[in-house]
Chain A
Amino acid sequence: MSQTEGKGSGALQVKFVPDEEVLKHIADDSGIKVRKDKTQQMVNVKRFVKKLENISDDEDQEILEEKNYVAVLGICAQDSMGNGSSVSGGEVYSFQTPKRSSKMAELASELAQTPGQSVASDHSKCPEKTAKTPQSSSNKKKEFVSTTPYRLRKRLAAPDLYLESESEYSASCSEEEDEEDQKEVSTVLSGQKTPAKTKAASTPPPRNNLGKKNKEDKMSNLVEEYFEAHSSSKVLTSDRTLQKLQKRRLNQQTLHDLLKKAPLAYAAEIKELNQQHESLFSKWMLQMHLGFNIVLYGLGSKRDLLEKFRTSVLQDSVHLVVNGYFPSITVRSILSSITEEVLDHIGTFRSPLDQLEFIIKRFKEDSSLELYVLIHNLDSQMLRGERSQQILAQLSSLPSIYLIASIDHINAPLMWDQAKLSLYNWLWYETTTFSPYVEETSYENSLLVQQSGSLALSSLTHVLRSLTLNARGIFRLLAQYQLENKDNPSYPGLSFQDFYQQCREHFLVNSDLTLRAQLTEFRDHKLIRTKRGADGVEYLLIPVDDSTLTDFLEKEDEDV
């Protein structure tokens, strides 16, 4: 505070600059400490890091207050499963705060060096390993200190085995950081007394610890951090890409085989967890019969658990299994399987709502009808929509339909408003299993997995099989045209007018309205994509790669 005054009057005396003095003091201290005992300093720094990463005292206080609220809600009770009810909401996921790009590598090496639980910093024992640690920094000093804070680390980073040859990729962190470096250096300058040798030791206290910063309200700090994180659209990550890595993209099959080789960690514990959950089966049955529906949440695939439930309890009753994670599942298909396979009704419905009404009517008329519905991943892409959830909720509210479902997404509960919640009438069960999501992720279009196309093919044929002959003809036309143009990289797609002409020629449609209706259906099934060209003309595309399309056409030819 007096600093500004001093500057204003032009008297630049060190005495009047308490901040600097404080800084000098601290810097001095750390310097001495290092000379005295290096390991101790490490511990110190470690504590710093921890302090930064963990919550500060103020936040602790906040959490305490939240806990009070939580206690009011009656949470505080002891929990048999030891689940996370002791964590308060604010601790979980809040605002974005600025992060540094190299922090991940830093943490990784830290984790790598901590055998088991103790966070001992005897990094000197394993220099080879640390040398292997990728460091996305431009400086190349053959020193590596794992547990020092970020700023220091940047100057002392280890060379990267992969990237040494390709130096262009190693210059990664953006300018902003350099700027900060500069700033930092200038602050450190005041602590000049520190011996120049102590590269590792001249640890300046992190900015937060400066006296000035300390005075600031924690809240405003949070606000500042938030805006800092959002201020620039600049992305502070390295520019490396997977292609530069000498690693081929795995396809689903090899991925699967590889994972088979990797032993499942903690199998015994996971089994124990599952057994705990399995003991609840009879309770679930009871509660479902009393009008509640069951929803399972928690980390880990709940697919096996539900399967076990199905095979052990539902063996002798009518039940419907819905694999919600399947990418082309729709509410309509769920409803259809109820009407067709459970109610033995043949016929179509104008809309899912009509279908739902029909089902409700049938179930109300015949009280002996009972149906168990198991839905894996009720929160999947295809089912999470408002309308789907509304229909499923209404379905589940029928007294003779018993629903048991699993959710995984962190925001899954946001799907339901009060009305839906009361229709669903959930009882929540935490079933953390830690089992890998094998099935659930096998359809995910992961960046790292090469798409085999088999999935797309099977879904294509599956969907088309349910269409009319004319519709299939229309789709074939489009597919053929697209394949003819496959060598043209700037192929925009088939324009609607051309397509219409072709369809007319093949006697597939009689008016452009019919064609449009057909296209809408395709679009609903995600078979085609439309986009408008620069001239405003609508172009149609099948968003499937060419080989799949060829396979598809071949298969179609076989069928016909």
Chain B
Amino acid sequence: MYSENVPRHCFTRKDLILPFFFIKSMYRSERQFRAIDFRERNNASEDSELRFVTCQSLWNQIKSETEQIQEDLNKQLFDNLLSFLRRSHSEFQEKTTEWTCQMKSREIPTAALVLGVNVTDHDLTFRSFSEVLQNNITPYIALLEAKDCPDIKNLMQKLMGQLMNCYIDVDSLEDEDSVQVSQNRIRCSMTSLINWYENVTKTLAISSGCGYIQRHGKFHNKSTSRLHSHQQLLLTTQFPFKLGEKVLQVLINIFLYHDFSVQNFIKGFQLCMVEHFYSQPLSVLCCQLVDTKKRVNSLSHDQCENIRKLPSFRRYVESQVSEKQIALLTADNFLKEIIQKLLEDLHVYHENYVSVLRCLHVFTSSLPKYPLGKQIRELHCACLENRVWETEEYESSLQLARMLNKSDLVTMLQQCVEIFVSSSGKEFDKTVEKLKEFLTQFQKLEVAEAIQERDVSVSSQKELQKKTDLYHLQKTLLELKESRRSKKLTKFEMLRFEVVDYIDSLVRTYLVPADHKTLHEIVYFNTASVLRGHLNAAPRIALHTALNNPYCYLKNQALKSDGGSISNKAPDICIVYKLHLECGRLINLVDWLEAFSTVVMAVEGPNADAASSDQVDDIIHARFIRAVSELELLGFIKPSKQKTDHVARLTWGAC
């Protein structure tokens, strides 16, 4: 620590190696560099480069896809805003003579955009909006953020700066006045702005209320609807990479409980991908179906072994006959064939899965109380987690589905037909047929019902005319009612049961959880703990654990202790920490030191002879000082002036 007494708190490489720019150029190609990262870890084997390239290209695809979604989402909003701006200005330019317009020219047309609490994404929205403006309407745009503008003076300065910069770039088009303003822009006031606005009528001022105007009713719609649209992404069959249930749950929870930020959600997704391709050597097979054949064929022996180690593949092997088992475990070529087939199966499974999931969602999303969730992602999670048909929620949804009325059921079936027709799966011809058959049956039922209804009403009317005494009337009415319920409803009910059962059978065949599928490890990323650790870490808990239970980290038997106690051989800082927990707001350093030395002396044992004991004392003292200053650095204590030689404690709680 004394070598650094010269305050070199900041230093760059430059003073150590001069031609560093030159050396750097070796790594100019970033791509090459990243591939090296992949390789290093995996000992150059296991197709790390290919994996990296796959990962990158896949990510680029996904990124452009999400940008597209984002753009589509914003498009309508931007269009509205643009038309508003055009309108307000055309009005202004057309009727400059009118009195009202002259009044208006003193007002700046303003649109308030309510985006909700989701702050981090707003930057992006505004930025893209200003781009749109720049392209479509005017180069004069000032984008102000609340955090840059603590007061009105700053605001004006920023505003003028942005407008003037642009002004200077375009240059010489405008009259003298504005130039003048730009010269004394620091002192410019509201009036000068307005003057300027009048002179340069093409300029726009848009006040974008994002931090200021928040309406809680609206934000939820906005941000969740965004997530909603992004979940399409998760469900497309276009990308081979998939998220496992737990990972998805973590990402969604971070979104809903922490930030409402779509950007962060996408980043999490990116992290998952990188993590998957980095840590799973077999992820090389996680590519478009067209490429798989080539890649499977070029698998090395090591990679084949990796496949054999996969739990899902082992399960598969065990279910085969013994000759095939042997072949799978010994012959690489045979194995590759099978892998190819299994991967295709997996692909088909996923295609079917998505369609059936959508279809099921049509049903569940209209049930009262949404036992399986309102959003398709909730349903997706439920299906990924375990066999959905074994859950209580599914059972109750079926119960509810059996009580749907006819018109609802018909529209749902129609929707399902649409889904299946448009789906890429090939197995659904029969399903579509069947569903259509149901629809025609419903129609027939309707017709038949109508006829019957008429009959009944006619006949009953006749009957009513015939008999007039009260007793009989009552009786016939009751009979009528009885027969209506038992006879006609049964037909519909039967059909309804049939439909629900059919949907149920679809679910059972196609919505098998992904981790029951062979080779799912290649495509699904499911290590949620990694993700959580990196995105939603808990530094305090880590610190707490390290201090209270050092054995978690230092695997030494001496540190092993049970329950809440701590071994006295623990590192100094743990002991000091443990001792300080026993204190109140203030801690007497002398008491603390003595308590510490009691513990430490006990550990060192009585063999420390008297001659050196003084030195031992000093060392213990020094160790104590170090531990205390470390606690101070960590924020557990701080010096206190309340009492001599006391420090104040800063944390509380059961430990």
Instruction: Given A98-B584, A108-B595, answer yes or no on A444-B632 (Cβ-Cβ < 8 Å).
Output: yes
Stretch at the interface among B428-436, B443-451, B529-537: B529-537
Stretch at the interface among A10-18, A49-57, A189-197, A489-497: A49-57
Contact B544 A444 (CB under 8 A): no
Q: Is B292 an interface residue (CB 8 A)?
A: no
User: Which 6 pairs show the lowest CB-CB distances between chains A and B?
Assistant: A84-B545, A428-B537, A112-B602, A108-B595, A326-B9, A299-B546
Q: Do A328 and B7 touch across chains, with their CB atoms under 8 A apart?
A: yes
Residue B80, interface by CB 8 Å: no
What interface size band does chain A fall in? 35 or more
B530 → A minimal CB distance (Å): 8
Q: How many Å lie between the Cα of A412 and that of B634 in the bound state?
A: 9
Considering the chains assembled together, what is the distance between the CA atoms of A560 and B552 in angstroms? 58
Q: Which of B12, B119, B554 contacts A320 (CB 8 A)?
A: B12
Contact call A259/B623, Cβ cutoff below 8 A: yes
Q: Mark A43-75, 1 if CB is under 8 A from B, else 0.
A: 000000010011100010000000000001111
B555 cross-chain contacts in A, Cβ below 8 A:
269, 272
Does B10 reach chain A (CB closer than 8 Å)?
A: yes
B621, CB-defined interface residue at 8 Å: yes
Q: For B40, give the chain A residue with the smallest CB separation.
A: A282
Q: Which residues of A contact B99 (CB under 8 A)?
A: none
Task: Identify 16 new A-B residue pairs, CB closer than 8 A, beyond the known A322-B10, A428-B536.
Answer: A54-B654, A83-B545, A84-B542, A92-B541, A93-B544, A97-B652, A109-B598, A116-B568, A134-B594, A250-B618, A255-B625, A323-B8, A329-B9, A408-B633, A429-B534, A447-B647
* B583 contact from A237, A320, A322, Cβ within 8 A: A237
B421 is an interface residue with CB less than 8 A from chain A: no
In the bound complex, what is the Cα–Cα distance between A262 and B597 (angstroms)?
14
Asked whether, in the complex, the Cβ of A238 is within 8 Å of the Cβ of B561, the reply is: no
Q: Does B328 contact A (CB under 8 A)?
A: no
B140 interfacial by beta-carbon distance below 8 Å: no
Segment from A433-441, A498-506, A510-518, A523-531 that makes contact with B? A433-441
Closest residue of chain B to A411 (Cβ to Cβ) is B635
Contact B41 A283 (CB under 8 A): yes
Decide yes or no: A240 and B588 within 8 Å by CB, A103-B583, A434-B554 being known contacts. Answer: yes
Contact assessment for A104 and B579 in the assembled complex, using a CB-CB cutoff below 8 Å: yes
Q: B630 within 8 Å of A by Cβ?
A: yes
**109-161 of chain A: CB within 8 A of chain B:** 109, 111-117, 119, 129, 132-134, 136
0 or 1 for each of A266-304: is its CB under 8 Å from B? (1 = yes): 100110110000010011011101101000011110000
Pairwise interchain contact B632-A446, C-beta atoms closer than 8 A: yes
Which chain A residues lie closer than 8 Å to B404 at the CB level? Answer: none
Contact, CB under 8 Å: B644 / A241:
yes
Q: A488 at the A/B interface (Cβ < 8 Å)?
A: no
Q: With the chains together, A494 CA to B5 CA distance in Å?
A: 30
Chain B residues with Cβ below 8 Å from A441 are: 626, 629-630, 632-633
- Please tell me which one of the listed residues B259, B571, B630 contacts residue A418 in the complex, with CB atoms under 8 A apart: B259
Docked Cα-Cα span, A322 to B9, in Å, equals: 6
Residues of A within 8 A of B654 (CB): 54-55, 59, 91, 94, 97
In the bound complex, CA of A321 to CA of B16 (Å) = 12
A92 touches B24 (CB 8 A): no
Residues of A within 8 A of B569 (CB): 116, 265
Residues of A within 8 A of B475 (CB): none
Known: A50-B564, A74-B249. A439 touches B1 (CB 8 A): yes
Q: In the complex, which residues of chain B have a beta carbon less than 8 angstroms from the beta carbon of A255?
A: 622, 625-626
Contact A430–B652 (Cβ < 8 Å)? no
The stretch among B191-199, B266-274, B301-309, B362-370 that forms the contact with chain A is B266-274
Chain B residues within an 8 Å CB radius of A289? 30, 33-34, 37
A269 pairs with B556, CB closer than 8 A: yes
B20 touching A318, Cβ below 8 Å: yes
Q: A240-B588, A418-B119 are in contact. Are A292 and B594 (CB under 8 A)?
A: no
Which residues of chain B in 529-575 are interfacial with respect to chain A, using CB atoms and an 8 Å cutoff? Answer: 529, 532-547, 549-550, 552-556, 558-569, 571-573, 575
Q: In the complex, A334 Cα to B10 Cα: how many Å?
A: 7
B4 within 8 A of A: yes
Q: Is B113 an interface residue (CB 8 A)?
A: no
Is B601 close to A, CB under 8 A?
Answer: yes
Q: Is the CB of A99 within 8 A of B582?
A: yes
Q: Mark B92-127, 1 if CB is under 8 A from A, else 0.
A: 000000000000000000000000000110000000
Q: How far is the CB of B360 from chain A (nearest CB, A)?
A: 23
Is A319 a contact of B653 with CB atoms below 8 Å? no
Q: CB < 8 Å: which of B21, B561, B562, B583 contacts A104?
A: B583
List the A side residues contacting B8 at CB < 8 Å.
323
B625 engages A419 (CB within 8 Å)? no
A112 near B567 with CB under 8 A, answer no
A398 to chain B, nearest CB (A): 15
Whether A318 touches B560, Cβ cut-off 8 Å, given contacts A98-B584, A262-B622, A440-B633, is: no
Distance in angstroms between the alpha carbons of A322 and B12 in the assembled complex: 9
A405 to chain B minimum Cβ distance, whole angstroms, is 13
Q: In the complex, how many angstroms separate the beta carbon of A228 from the nearest chain B beta carbon?
A: 11
Bound-state Cα–Cα, A529 to B563, Å: 51
* Complex contact A262–B619 (CB within 8 A): yes
Chain B at the A interface: SS class: helix
Complex A-B: 19 CB contacts under 8 Å: A73-B532, A82-B553, A84-B549, A89-B538, A89-B541, A91-B653, A104-B579, A106-B582, A116-B568, A286-B37, A298-B542, A318-B14, A319-B13, A323-B4, A328-B9, A413-B540, A428-B533, A434-B546, A441-B626
Please report the number of residue pairs spanning A and B whose Cβ atoms sit closer than 8 angstroms. Answer: 434
Taken together as a complex, chains A and B put the C-alpha atoms of A253 and B261 apart, in Å, by 51
Chain A residue at minimum C-beta to C-beta distance from B246: A74
For the complex, give the distance between the alpha carbons of A70 and B58 in Å: 32
Pair B595/A318 contact, Cβ less than 8 Å: no
Q: Is A432 a contact of B533 with CB atoms below 8 Å?
A: no
Residues in A neighbouring B560, C-beta threshold 8 A = 117
Within 8 A of A (CB), among B599-655: 599, 601-603, 606, 615, 617-619, 621-626, 628-630, 632-636, 639, 642-647, 651-655
Residues B591 and A134 in contact, CB atoms below 8 Å apart: yes
Query: Is there an interface contact between A422 and B10, defined as CB atoms closer than 8 Å?
Result: no
Bitwise, B506-541 to A at CB < 8 A (1) or not (0) is 000000000000000000000111001111111111
Q: Which of A105, A259, A325, A412 contacts B591 (CB 8 A)?
A: A105
* A134 x B629 contact (CB < 8 A): no
Contact between A430 and B622 (Cβ–Cβ < 8 Å)?
no
Q: Does A448 contact B (CB under 8 A)?
A: yes
Q: Which of B119, B553, B589 is in CB contact (< 8 Å) with A448?
A: B589
Asked whether any CB of chain B lies closer than 8 Å to the CB of A342, the reply is yes
Chain B residue numbers with a CB within 8 Å of A447 are: 589, 639, 645, 647
Q: Which of A54, A132, A290, A333 contacts B9 (CB 8 A)?
A: A333
User: Does B264 reach chain A (CB closer than 8 Å)?
Assistant: yes
Let me know if B173 is at the binding interface, CB within 8 A. Answer: no
- Minimum CB–CB distance for A326 against chain B, Å: 4
Neighbouring A residues of B572 by C-beta, 8 Å:
265
Is the CB of B163 closer than 8 A to any CB of chain A? no
User: Contact string, A445-477, partner B, CB cutoff 8 A, digits 1/0?
Assistant: 111110000110011001000000000000000
A459 to B8 alpha-carbon distance, docked (Å) = 10
Q: In the assembled complex, which residues on chain A have CB atoms less than 8 Å from the CB atom of B34?
A: 286, 289-290
Q: In the assembled complex, which residues on chain B have CB atoms less than 8 Å from the CB atom of A368?
A: 25, 28
B412 at the interface (CB under 8 A from A): no
Inter-chain CA distance A317–B543, complex, in Å, is 33
Query: What is the bound-complex CA distance between A334 and B12, given in angstroms?
Result: 10
* CB neighbours of B353 from chain A (8 A): none
Determine whether A219 belongs to the interface, using a CB cutoff of 8 Å to chain B. Answer: no
- On chain A, the residues within 8 Å of B593 by CB distance are 245
Q: How far is the CA of A96 from the CA of B586 in the complex (A)?
A: 12
CB distance from B601 to the nearest CB of A (A): 7
Determine if A107 is an interface residue (Cβ-Cβ < 8 Å). yes
B420 at the interface (CB under 8 A from A): no
